[in-house]
Homo-oligomer: A and B are copies of this chain.
Amino acid sequence: MRTIRTVRQLIAWRSALQRERVTIALVPTMGALHDGHRTLIRAARLACDAVVVSIFVNPTQFGPGEDLDRYPRPFRRDAAMCRAEGVDVIFAPPREEMYHADHRTLVIVAGVSRRWEGEARPGHFEGVATVVTKLLSLVQPDQTFFGQKDYQQSVVVRRLASDLNLPGRIIVCPTVREPDGLALSSRNVYLTPEDRKAASILYQALKAGEAAVRRGTGDAHTIRRVMQGTLKRERRVRIDYLAVCDPESLEPVARIERRVALLGAIRLSGIRLIDNLLVGV
């Protein structure tokens, strides 16, 4: 396994593979890899000849006052996981390699990035869209792997890749969870033991919403009340948003007539957690 830190070397590596008609899978990450990333890497490994995992804590997707500085960066542990999973290249550029001092370009995906995380984190999806455009242009992967846990991000990235004709297919892999249902996230390490215990309530709320949909509850407002009811059992929880929305447009729906996305975002002692479920009817 090789670690590449410059754009120039990455392009050289990618071009050499392309000349040999080797297919390339990309798994874009911010590092602090967990079993969710492991699932993406394994899917990538199965799908393509070569796998590149990018590890880049992208500054442009963090808002002021967010956790850019304290975001975990356990590079050696990440590299060990990548090596164990048969990754070919880790692309871990320093910040100035991705954003020169004179960088001025921003990619905006309107529509699907407006609500939910877009509202809670202004500028976040512009940062995501910009760095994903850069990574896809650099790697020119045949397939790129994202986790469903950041559901809105996956919708934004699909829209982006389609709108800008970026190379390759976007693959979204199912969320990986702790035994109690908490979605794996690099930010879970921020949780105090008490908050960690309380955190699985978000998944329970989504499951309660799913059960209500399956029971035939057609009214989205009622579904949200069901989810809210579950969350209220944990006094430590502050609700950021609970949404019943169209899985493609991410617009809220009033009546549940086809598949919906249930989205939730909560805070525990200031730490934000998000999760989602797709529910067919």
List residues of A whose CB falls within 8 A of some B CB. Answer: 7, 18-19, 21, 100, 102-112, 129-130, 133-134, 137-138, 140, 159-160, 162-167
Contact = CB atoms under 8 A, between A and B. Distances in A.
Output the residue of A108, A110, A130 with the most chain B CB within 10 A.
A108
A104 B100 contact: no
A166 B166 CA distance: 10
B110 A106 contact: yes
Nearest to A162: B100
A102 B130 CA distance: 19
The complex is assembled from copies of this chain, and their number is 2
Contacts of A129: 105
Given A105-B159, A130-B164, A138-B165, 14 more contacts: A100-B163, A102-B159, A104-B159, A104-B163, A105-B108, A105-B129, A105-B160, A105-B164, A106-B107, A107-B108, A134-B163, A134-B164, A137-B137, A140-B140
Contacts of A19: 21
Contacts of A167: 137, 140
A101 to B, nearest CB: 12
A162 B130 CA distance: 13
A105 B7 contact: no
